[in-house]
Chains A and B, each alone.
Chain A
Amino acid sequence: MPINRIERRYVPFAYAFLLPTIAVFLLFYLIPIVTVVLTSFTRWDGFSTPTFNGLTNYLRFFSQSSFLISLRNLLLWSLIAATLHVGFGVLVAFVLFQKPKGWKAVRGVYMIPNIVSSAAMAMIFRFMFNNDFGFLNSLIRLVRPSFQVNWFFESPWAFVAVTLTWLFYGAIITLIVLGDLMNIPSDLHDAARIDGATGFQAILRIQLPLCRYAIGTSIILSITSRIAMYEAIALTTRGGPGDDTMNIPIILVKAITDLNYGLANAAAVFMFLMGMFTLWIINRLFRMNNPIY
């Protein structure tokens, strides 16, 4: 769209205000990303000069015994995140949208886990799932006194335990969806009511479709968080028992501790591509480039 003379006067201002953002993006995102991509094709210990080694790091990364398990875990966690995790967050948003008594208090309480650091949350879960004195097993032993499960350290429970550390904490999703719900023009609800739509029909035909962007964004956030999930695993199972709860960030950090930065960066590039793929596919699925209203 062409701009007029008056608007043109403000173009330099626009660039000036954009400058810090562009500089931050270049310094802290683009240059590191380019460096990571370039060094992923090198043999680099972090000290000496990187030497080009072609696809060796990628071949080693894909042939690692823990890679396939990490990929399987990522797919499972992504599926759980996109369905149960986002679903729960959306459900809470819809319940809060009805503004039942005490909804503001519930919204506040639901946010609490989000202001606790991931590391602290991981430690809380380690205690909760402790076999000897953990809350969960103590509860189960009320009905099954002989119950013994070391949640974080036994197959297949470790995967379940790690999943439970984030599964029900969807406050961000709730807030995003709630924001969209509150922005739905009231005349749409009025029209639906006049046409005789039930509450459930209004949710299904009006509210859910109009929250499409918010739900799509939530799924993107949720899956990309699973791709980058580190603390919840590093501070509980460290990828164990065996490789049961391995994921790509754990492989990446392990490669760094073994001073194999080329391999670590190959893992990082893979994570980046997975993130981009998620973005692309959810954008397509939720038609996020099409206008809602």
Chain B
Amino acid sequence: MKNIMILMVMVLGVSFLLVAAGSQEVEDNGMVELVIPHYKAGQNVGGKFFLPQVDRFNALYDGTYRIVIEELPQDGYQDKIKLLAQMNKLPALIEGVGDTVWFEDYMLANDRVQDLKPWLDTKPHVKGLLLDDALEYNTRDGKIVSLPLALARPIGLFYNNTMINPSKPIGEMTHEEFLDMLGDQKIAFMTSENAWTTNLFYTSLIAAEPGGVEMLQNGVEEKIYDYTGPIWREATTNLQKVLQDYASGNTLGAAYADAANSFMSRRSAVIPNGPWMVGDFAPDSEDKWSNGFSGDQVSGDVYPGNFAIANVRGYNWWIPNGLPERELEAALAFLEFMMSPDELEAFMLVEGGVVPKLTLSEDFLTKQKKNPILVDLATTINKDTRLAPLFGDVVPGSIGNMEFGKLLPKLIDGTFTPQQFCEELTLKAAETRL
């Protein structure tokens, strides 16, 4: 009896451990459910289009596939993906890579990414829409490692045309003229999260320096670790001046929501941001407006010096290798769904951008004309507009996403001179190397 009791205690103990340490998978009746962690949810501006798009997909494939979005904060998304990759628990669909060094050195080098080429070869209606540059960039050793972009969305800025009244398009101004025109008005900057709006304007300041655009363009292929050169020093000097004289009052510690709120409450006249923000200026977003702000007060333009931020040479949606067949089918079905003309047009109406290889429908053109900001953005880009990738995309991930924003308060309060700021950033970048 005693031995039986001992045995029972041991079995119970070990069973408890096995249950606690194991995991369970729930199978639905033939339906594949993909749980996708993503930041385009909740209050994130990208969720305005993405979540309804997921709903449309689920409705279309009702009973076959279902996508469930697990909400994540935007600045934690890439870190979460890295951790999931480390645990070999990547979701079936991942958007972007944030840190290209990580993607290339670990995911691609270890053959952990699904080759999309065989699938794209069977989908000429999808492949035919892809931008040549994007396709070339995503083709590695004959494999297509992420879904190349079909849509280009140059990032510029938005301004409140009742607060400032540019005498000519901002793209035709220099930075000095632009700042003079601002007068006492402010720009919605931020230092928290990845300091996104500041990151954008800093990129335009780098691009304004001789050789700046080329340096940024080259940085896509080979990350930049040294920020002590004259381009960086000059751009940082100008950034310090802009942050000290033209930054909105809440810049220190501001996250994206704070910067957007500053603009949509007329406390700032300008916000650097991409066309996806257009959705916030639509009448159905008026709950976000205050202090007399209205979406029809907003105009869009490129940065001074006729510069816009765009990088089609990057990684987009990708699928990890080794998914069960049905999950892979579901993931590919979602990619195909997103690339359908209806979805691309719906996307452009909400978040702007252009799909050069898509023949636009009359319905789309009629609807687009009703949104003057989208028309603004479409017409400000011309053949002379210089395009380059974002500063955050040409430096190591933790520099663009974390260190830059962390150091900004010291640049603003003058603790760091521009040179010290650049040196500190260079030091931090060196520490990221293995």
| Chain A residues engaging chain B, CB cutoff 8 angstroms | 9, 12-13, 16-17, 19-20, 23-24, 27, 43, 45-48, 60, 64-65, 126, 130-132, 150, 152-155, 237-243, 254, 256-260
- Which of A13, A126, A256, A257 has the most C-beta atoms of chain B within 10 angstroms of its own C-beta? A257
Residue from B17, B102, B428 in contact with A20 in the complex, judged by beta carbons closer than 8 Å: B17
Q: A237 vs B402: C-alpha distance in the bound complex, in angstroms?
A: 11
Contact with A along B402-416 (1 / 0, CB 8 A): 100111111001011
Residue from A43, A237, A242 in contact with B410 in the complex, judged by beta carbons closer than 8 Å: A242
Closest to A257 in B: B79
- Which of A9, A47, A258 has the most C-beta atoms of chain B within 10 angstroms of its own C-beta? A258
Closest 5 CB pairs of A and B: A240-B406, A241-B409, A20-B13, A150-B252, A153-B253
What are the residues of chain B within 8 A of A150 when measuring CB–CB?
252-253, 409
Closest to B20 in A: A24
B6 and A16: CB pair below 8 A? yes
- The answer to whether residues A259 and B83 also contact, given A23-B14, A242-B410 and a CB cut-off of 8 A, is no
Does B106 sit at the interface, judged by CB under 8 A?
Answer: yes
Q: What is the distance, in angstroms, from B74's C-beta to the closest C-beta of chain A? A: 14
What are the residues of chain B within 8 A of A241 when measuring CB–CB?
406-410, 413, 415
Q: What is the distance, in angstroms, from B392's C-beta to the closest C-beta of chain A? A: 14
A258 and B252: CB pair below 8 A? no
A259 and B9: CB pair below 8 A? no
Q: What is the distance, in angstroms, from A47's C-beta to the closest C-beta of chain B? A: 5
Closest to B432 in A: A258
Residue from A131, A237, A257 in contact with B398 in the complex, judged by beta carbons closer than 8 Å: A257
Q: What is the distance, in angstroms, from A29's C-beta to the closest C-beta of chain B? A: 13
What are the residues of chain B within 8 A of A237 when measuring CB–CB?
406
What are the residues of chain A within 8 A of B99 when measuring CB–CB?
257
The 8 listed contacts between A and B (C-beta, < 8 Å) are A46-B86, A65-B428, A238-B405, A239-B406, A242-B410, A259-B82, A259-B106, A259-B434
Q: A260 vs B428: C-alpha distance in the bound complex, in angstroms?
A: 14
Q: A13 vs B413: C-alpha distance in the bound complex, in angstroms?
A: 67
A47 and B397: CB pair below 8 A? no
- Which of A20, A64, A241 has the most C-beta atoms of chain B within 10 angstroms of its own C-beta? A241
Does B424 sit at the interface, judged by CB under 8 A?
Answer: yes
What are the residues of chain A within 8 A of B21 when measuring CB–CB?
27
Q: What is the distance, in angstroms, from A242's C-beta to the closest C-beta of chain B? A: 5
Closest to A43 in B: B434
- The answer to whether residues A131 and B407 also contact, given A19-B10, A23-B13 and a CB cut-off of 8 A, is no
- The answer to whether residues A12 and B250 also contact, given A43-B434, A258-B397, A258-B432 and a CB cut-off of 8 A, is no
B424 and A242: CB pair below 8 A? yes
What are the residues of chain A within 8 A of B402 when measuring CB–CB?
238, 254
Residue from B9, B105, B405, B428 in contact with A16 in the complex, judged by beta carbons closer than 8 Å: B9
Q: A240 vs B412: C-alpha distance in the bound complex, in angstroms?
A: 13
A131 and B252: CB pair below 8 A? yes
A19 and B106: CB pair below 8 A? no
Does B249 sit at the interface, judged by CB under 8 A?
Answer: yes
Q: A115 vs B109: C-alpha distance in the bound complex, in angstroms?
A: 45
What are the residues of chain A within 8 A of B5 when measuring CB–CB?
13
What are the residues of chain A within 8 A of B146 when measuring CB–CB?
none
Q: What is the distance, in angstroms, from B403's C-beta to the closest C-beta of chain A? A: 9
Closest to A155 in B: B415
Within 8 A of A (CB), among B214-268: 249-250, 252-253
Q: A17 vs B191: C-alpha distance in the bound complex, in angstroms?
A: 54
Does B110 sit at the interface, judged by CB under 8 A?
Answer: yes
Q: A220 vs B290: C-alpha distance in the bound complex, in angstroms?
A: 50
What are the residues of chain B within 8 A of A19 when measuring CB–CB?
9-10, 13-14
Q: What is the distance, in angstroms, from B226's C-beta to the closest C-beta of chain A? A: 16
Q: A21 vs B62: C-alpha distance in the bound complex, in angstroms?
A: 47
What are the residues of chain B within 8 A of A45 when measuring CB–CB?
105-106, 434
- The answer to whether residues A154 and B413 also contact, given A47-B106, A239-B406 and a CB cut-off of 8 A, is yes
Given contacts A16-B10, A258-B396, A258-B398, 15 further A-B contacts (CB under 8 A): A20-B14, A23-B17, A46-B86, A130-B253, A131-B252, A131-B253, A150-B252, A239-B406, A240-B405, A241-B406, A241-B409, A242-B407, A242-B416, A242-B424, A257-B398
A132 and B17: CB pair below 8 A? no
A153 and B409: CB pair below 8 A? yes
Within 8 A of A (CB), among B78-93: 79, 82-83, 86
- The answer to whether residues A12 and B6 also contact, given A153-B253, A241-B406, A259-B82 and a CB cut-off of 8 A, is yes
Q: What is the distance, in angstroms, from B114's C-beta to the closest C-beta of chain A? A: 17
Q: A48 vs B409: C-alpha distance in the bound complex, in angstroms?
A: 38
Q: A228 vs B396: C-alpha distance in the bound complex, in angstroms?
A: 26
Residue from B2, B413, B427 in contact with A155 in the complex, judged by beta carbons closer than 8 Å: B413
Q: A20 vs B16: C-alpha distance in the bound complex, in angstroms?
A: 8
What are the residues of chain B within 8 A of A20 when measuring CB–CB?
13-14, 16-17
Closest to B427 in A: A65
Q: What is the distance, in angstroms, from B138's C-beta to the closest C-beta of chain A? A: 21
Contact with A along B1-36 (1 / 0, CB 8 A): 010011001100110110001000000000000000
Q: What is the distance, in angstroms, from B116's C-beta to the closest C-beta of chain A? A: 22
What are the residues of chain A within 8 A of B141 when measuring CB–CB?
none
Does B362 sit at the interface, judged by CB under 8 A?
Answer: no
What are the residues of chain B within 8 A of A130 when measuring CB–CB?
253
Does B284 sit at the interface, judged by CB under 8 A?
Answer: no
Q: What is the distance, in angstroms, from A168's C-beta to the closest C-beta of chain B? A: 22
What are the residues of chain A within 8 A of B405 when measuring CB–CB?
238, 240
A238 and B17: CB pair below 8 A? no
- The answer to whether residues A48 and B110 also contact, given A131-B253, A155-B415 and a CB cut-off of 8 A, is yes
What are the residues of chain B within 8 A of A155 when measuring CB–CB?
409-410, 413, 415
What are the residues of chain B within 8 A of A257 when measuring CB–CB?
79, 82, 99, 397-398
Does B431 sit at the interface, judged by CB under 8 A?
Answer: yes
Q: What is the distance, in angstroms, from A26's C-beta to the closest C-beta of chain B? A: 10
Q: A19 vs B17: C-alpha distance in the bound complex, in angstroms?
A: 11
What are the residues of chain A within 8 A of B14 when measuring CB–CB?
19-20, 23
B110 and A240: CB pair below 8 A? no
Residue from B102, B410, B416 in contact with A259 in the complex, judged by beta carbons closer than 8 Å: B102
What are the residues of chain A within 8 A of B413 when measuring CB–CB?
154-155, 241
Q: What is the distance, in angstroms, from A79's C-beta to the closest C-beta of chain B? A: 25
Residue from A23, A154, A260 in contact with B252 in the complex, judged by beta carbons closer than 8 Å: A154
